[in-house]
Amino acid sequence: MTLQDFVLSGQWVFLAYFIGINVGYLLQNVIAAWGIRRYLQTAEQFEAESVFSSLDIPISVIVPAFNESASIITSVKAMLQLEYPQYELIVVNDGSTDDTLQKLVDEFRMQEFPEAYRARVPCAQVRGVFRSTQQGNLRVVDKENGGSKADAANAGINIARYPLVCIVDADSVLQPDSLRRVVRPFLEDPTTVAVGGTVRISNGCTIRQGFLEKVGLPSNFLALVQVVEYLRAFLFGRMGWSPINGLLIISGAFGLFHKETLVEAGGYNPKAVGEDMELVLRLHRLMKSKRKPYRITFVPDPVCWTDAPSNLRDLKSQRVRWQNGLGQALALNRELITDPRGGTVTWVAIPFYVIFELFGPIIEVAGYLFIIICALMGWIAWPQAAIFLGLAIGLGVLLSTSAIMLEEQSFHMYPRFKQLALLYLVAIFENFGFRQLTAVWRFQGLMRWLRGREHKWETLTRSDNLADEET
Amino acid sequence: MEWLFRSEFDAITTVALWSIAVVVATTIVLFVYTLGLRFATLASDRRRARFIRAWRDVFASAMLSEDAARQCTLPPVGRSSRTDLLEEWNHSRSMVDGTAAENLIVLARRTGIPGLALNLLHKRRVRPRILAVQTFGHLRDSRRRDDIRSLLDHENTALSITAAVALVDIDPSYAVPIVIPMIEKRRDWPRNRISIMLRMAGSERISEPMYRAIRSANNANRTYLLQFSRLIEAEVLDALLEDLIRDSNDPGVLNAALKLVGGFGGVPRIAALTQHDAWFVRMQAAKVLGRIGQEEHLSLLESLLDDPEWWVRYRAAQAIASLPFLGPNCLRRLRERQSDRYASDILQQSFAEVGLA
C-alpha cells in the first residue's frame, strides 16, 4: 500500500464514520420528533383529567446522600412537597463524614426506629433506620459507606415499601409534578419496568426552597455548552430509542423502577462505575431471559434539574467516569450482544453504542489527528483538510440545531429570544475546542476502562443554587 | 482550485463537499423553521390570550345567570379562534355542573359551538375529533349519540375513551350497559379516566352491570375489573366480594377481592386464606383479619409472624398491634413469648410504629 493509498483509505474511513454516526443521530431525531409529538398529543388530556385516585401507584423515593450537609435539608423539604397522593421518602446516609445525618435528625425530629430490615439486594452494613416524628412518610437509613451511590440506593430499595421506587440524586431539583408525570407509562402499560425522565441543567436557573422558580441559562461557558449537550442527549438521544424499546440508559439523577423487577435483577451493582446504565442493561437481560413482554421507556417532560460541572477539572472527571462506566456496563452485560432474542437492543442499540459511543472517541481523536498530520505533511491540501474539518463541525452544528428545534416544538423552556440566540451560538462554538476536548476525555475514560481501574464517589464543586437557605 | 480536480482525491472531496452543502442547507432550514415556529407561537399565544380575556368574562357571567347566557354580548370569533373557543368552553364546562352547566350549554348554542364541533367531528386528524366528541359530551347532545358510539372501537386510545366519557355525559342510562363491557376489552383505556367515567355515571347505575361483568369475566379480567369496583354500591360490593372469596381460588382474584373487603361477610373463608399458597393472599387475609379485630383470629395472626415472606409477617404484626382487645402489656408479653427472631423483630417494628416501642 502506498502512502497515497493509505491517506485515501484513511479519509474514506473517517468520512464514512462521521456520516454514519450523524445519520444515526438524525434517525434518532426523526423517531424522537414523532415520539414527542405523540406524547404531547395525549399529555394535555392526561394532565387535565389526572385526578388522584386509588388507582395511582404508591412510590418510594430513594435519595442516596454522601456528604450532602450543605443542601440536604432544602432538598428533603422540597421532595416532601411533591404533588403525588401516596409516596414515602427514604434518605440513605451513606456513611457521610460531615453532619448530613445530624442535620436530618435535628430538622425533621428523626428517631431511631427498630425497622425489621431485610437485605434483598447487596449493600454495606446498615447502622440504623430513623423515622421522622414530624413527617410520617420520611425515613433515613444510616449505613456504612459502601463506596458508591449504587450501594446506597440498594439500602433504600431494601427498606422501600411501595411497588415503584424512584432513585433521585440528593442534589437534584425536581418539578413538583415530576412523579405524576413519570408514573404515566406505568399506568398506561402494565408491562413497564422502568421509566426515565428528561434531566436539564439547573445552572443559571433560579431555585428557591428546592424548587425551580425561573428557567435561565448559565453565564459560565462550560455549563452553557452542557445545556445544549443535555438537549441533544435527552430530547433525541433517549427519546429516539424509547419508542423502539431500545433505551439503554436511565439517568442516575432520576429514574422510576418497578421494585420487584429491580430486586429480581439484583438491584444496582455496587461495583459498577456507570451503575445507571449497567442496571438498565441488566433489566433488559433479565426480561429477555424471562421471555416476557416489557417496556423500558422515557418521558420527555423535563422532570429533574441538576447542577452541571462548571470547571474543567470536574467536567473532565465526569466525562472520564461516564466513558469508563459505559465500557464496563456493556462488558458486564455482553450476553445481550449475542442474544438471538435480543431484538432492538441486541441488533440496533448495542451495536450503535459500541461502535459510536464506546469506541467513537478513538476514531474521533484519530480522525482529527489524521487530517491535521496529513495537512502538515502536505499529503493532502489544506483546503481539503478544511473541508473535512468543516464537515465534522457542520454535522455537530446540525445535531445541536435539531435538538434546539425539538425543544422549541415541545417544551419551549427558554422563551426569550436572547436565550434562543445564545443556544445557537453555543451550538456553533462548542465545535471549536470543547467537542474535541470531550473526545480526548472520553478517550481517557475508555483507556481507564480497558486498564480496569476503579472509581469511587466523587465530591464535585457545586453551585450555590441548592445550598440550604437560612430560615 | 486545482487540488479539487487532482488525482484520486477528487471523489472523496466531492462527497465531503456535497455533504457539507447538505448539512449547511439542512441546518439553515431547521434554523429558519425554529425561528418561524418561535414567531408563530408568540403571535398565537398573544392572540389566544386576548381571546381568552374577552371570553372568560362571558363564560363567568353565563355560569351565574341564564339571562346573561341568553342576552350577553358575544365577542367576535375569528376563523383562527374557533378551536380556542371550543377548548375554552370545554374547560369552563368541565369545571361546573347543575345550573351553571345548563347555562353554559345555552350560551354554547347561541355561539354556534355545536356547528363548530360538527365540522371537527369528521376531520381526519384525531385531535380535532377528540375536541368535537368532548364538546358533544359537554353539550349533552343526544343527536350525536350514534356518531360517538361508533368511535368506542376506534384504535386511538384517547379518542375512544373520550367517546366513552362523552356517551356517559350525554345519557348515562344508555351508555352504562355499552361502556362497561368495553372496559375489559379496551385495556388501553387509562384507568384514571375509566374511574372518572364510572363516577360520572353514578354508583346506582353501574352497580348491577359491574357485578355482572365481574361475575362473568375470566380470572384475569376479573382481577382487572375489581380495581373499579370500589365505585359500586356498598351492599352490591359486599355481596360480590363474599361470592368471589368463597368461590374463587385464583390468587389474583383473591388478592384484588381481599383488598376491597370492608364488611364482615365470609370471615371463616378469609381466616382459611391465611394458609393460602400465594404470599400476597396470606398478606391480604392478615390485613383483613386485623381490620375485623376478632379475638379468635389472634392465634392465626401469630402463626403468620414467622412466615417466610416479610410482607406477610409485617401485615400480621400490624394487624396484631391494631387489635382493640390487646392492651400494651398484652402486646409486650406476646412479643416476649416469640422464640423466632423474625417474629420478634417484626413485632418490635410494628409496635414502634404505633408508639409502643
Question: Out of A53, A115, A408, whose CB is closest to B195?
Answer: A53
Q: Residue A67 has what pLDDT?
A: 93
Q: Residue A217 has what pLDDT?
A: 95
Q: How far is A424 from chain B (nearest CA, A)?
A: 9
Tell me the residues of chain B between 213 and 232 that have a Cβ less than 8 Å away from chain A: 227, 230
3-class DSSP state of A340 = coil
Cβ neighbours, 10 Å, residue A25: 21
Chain B residues within 8 A of A12 when measuring between CB atoms: 12
Region of B36 on the Ramachandran plot (φ > 0 left; ψ -120 to 50 alpha; else beta): alpha
Q: How far is B193 from chain A (nearest CA, A)?
A: 7
Measured CA to CA in angstroms, residue B297 lies from A257, B27, B320 at distances of: 37, 74, 9
pLDDT band at A406 (very low <50, low <70, confident <90, very high): very high
Overall average pLDDT of the A303-323 stretch: 93
Strands (E), A66-104: 87-94
Chain B residues within 8 A of A8 when measuring between CB atoms: 8-9, 12
Distance (Å, rounded) from C-alpha B26 to C-alpha B34? 12
Question: Out of B15, B27, B348, whose CB is closest to A397?
Answer: B27
Q: Which residues pair with B308 in a beta bridge?
A: none
The number of angstroms, rounded, from the C-alpha of A394 to the middle of its chain's C-alpha atoms is 26
Contact A45 B188 (CB under 8 A): no
Q: How far is A52 from chain B (nearest CA, A)?
A: 8
pLDDT band at A327 (very low <50, low <70, confident <90, very high): very high
Question: Out of B3, B17, B31, whose CB is closest to A401?
Answer: B31
Chain B residues within 8 A of A408 when measuring between CB atoms: 34, 37-38, 41
Contact A4 B7 (CB under 8 A): yes
Question: Can you identify the CATH homologous superfamily of domain B266-357?
Answer: Leucine-rich Repeat Variant (1.25.10.10)
Domains in chain A, CATH or no CATH each: 20-42+171-355+458-466 (3.90.550)
Q: Residue A149 is placed in which grid cell?
A: 451511590
Give the phi and the psi of residue A313 in degrees, each rounded to 5: -60, -50
Tell me the residues of chain B between 144 and 173 that have a Cβ less than 8 Å away from chain A: 157-158, 162
Q: Is the separation of the CB atoms in A252 and A238 below 8 Å?
A: no
Number of CB pairs < 8 Å for A and B? 112
Chain A residues within 8 A of B16 when measuring between CB atoms: 15, 387-388, 391
Q: Is A1 on the interface with B (CB under 8 A)?
A: no
Pick among A12, A45, A374, A407 to test the B interface (most B CBs inside 10 A): A45
Q: Is A413 on the interface with B (CB under 8 A)?
A: no
Q: How far is B253 from chain A (nearest CA, A)?
A: 17
Pick among A1, A2, A11 to test the B interface (most B CBs inside 10 A): A11
Overall average pLDDT of the A133-142 stretch: 93
Q: Residue B357 has what pLDDT?
A: 62
Overall average pLDDT of the A145-170 stretch: 95
pLDDT of A92 above 70: yes
Q: Residue B266 has what pLDDT?
A: 72
Overall average pLDDT of the A117-126 stretch: 93
Cβ within 8 Å of residue A400, ≥6 positions away: A228, A231, A232, A426, A427, A430
Per-residue tens of pLDDT for chain B, all 357 residues: 444 444 445 788 888 888 899 999 999 999 999 999 999 999 998 999 999 998 988 999 999 988 888 988 899 888 888 999 999 999 999 888 889 999 999 999 999 999 999 999 989 888 899 999 999 999 998 899 999 999 999 998 889 999 999 999 999 999 999 999 999 999 888 888 899 899 999 999 999 999 999 999 999 999 999 999 989 999 999 999 999 999 999 999 999 999 998 766 677 889 999 999 999 999 999 999 998 888 889 999 999 998 988 899 999 999 999 998 888 888 888 888 888 888 888 998 988 888 776
Q: Is the separation of the CB atoms in A115 and A159 below 8 Å?
A: yes
Tell me the residues of chain B between 5 and 64 that have a Cβ less than 8 Å away from chain A: 7-9, 12-13, 15-17, 19-20, 23-24, 26-27, 30-31, 33-35, 37-38, 41
Question: Out of A53, A114, A401, whose CB is closest to B30?
Answer: A401
Domains of chain B: which residue ranges? 202-253, 266-357
Instruction: For B34, name the nearest residue in chain A, comparing CA atoms only.
Output: A405
Q: Is A395 on the interface with B (CB under 8 A)?
A: yes
Question: Out of A15, A54, A397, whose CB is closest to B12?
Answer: A15
Strands (E), B130-237: none
Chain A residues within 8 A of B346 when measuring between CB atoms: 116
Closest to A288 (Cα-Cα) out of A309, A268, A261, A308 = A261
Tell me the residues of chain A between 359 and 388 that have a Cβ less than 8 Å away from chain B: 380-381, 383-384, 387-388
Q: Residue A17 has what pLDDT?
A: 87
Q: Is the separation of the CB atoms in A118 and A263 below 8 Å?
A: no
Q: Is A49 on the interface with B (CB under 8 A)?
A: yes
Question: Out of B16, B31, B33, whose CB is closest to A391?
Answer: B16
Q: Residue A442 is placed in which grid cell?
A: 472520553
Instruction: For B39, name the nearest residue in chain A, comparing CA atoms only.
Output: A417
ipTM score of complex: 0.83
Using CB atoms within 10 Å of the CB of residue A70, give its burial: 0 to 12 exposed, 13 to 18 middle, 19+ buried.
Answer: middle
What is the length of chain B? 357
The number of angstroms, rounded, from the C-alpha of A446 to the middle of its chain's C-alpha atoms is 19
Chain B residues within 8 A of A118 when measuring between CB atoms: 310
Chain B residues within 8 A of A417 when measuring between CB atoms: 38
pLDDT of A182 above 70: yes
Give the phi and the psi of residue A93 in degrees, each rounded to 5: -85, 105
Q: Virtual CA dihedral for A334, A339, A342, A345, nearest 10 degrees?
A: 30
pLDDT digits (tens, 9 = 90+) for B134-160: 999 999 988 999 999 999 999 988 899
Q: Residue A463 has what pLDDT?
A: 61
Contact A53 B31 (CB under 8 A): no
Question: Out of A11, A41, A394, whose CB is closest to B24?
Answer: A394
**Mean pLDDT over each residue of chain A, to the nearest integer:** 89
Region of A267 on the Ramachandran plot (φ > 0 left; ψ -120 to 50 alpha; else beta): left
A199-213, A353-367, A455-469: which range is least confident on average?
A: A455-469
Q: Is B192 on the interface with A (CB under 8 A)?
A: yes
Contact A50 B192 (CB under 8 A): yes
pLDDT digits (tens, 9 = 90+) for A37-80: 888 876 765 554 554 455 678 999 999 999 999 889 999 999 99
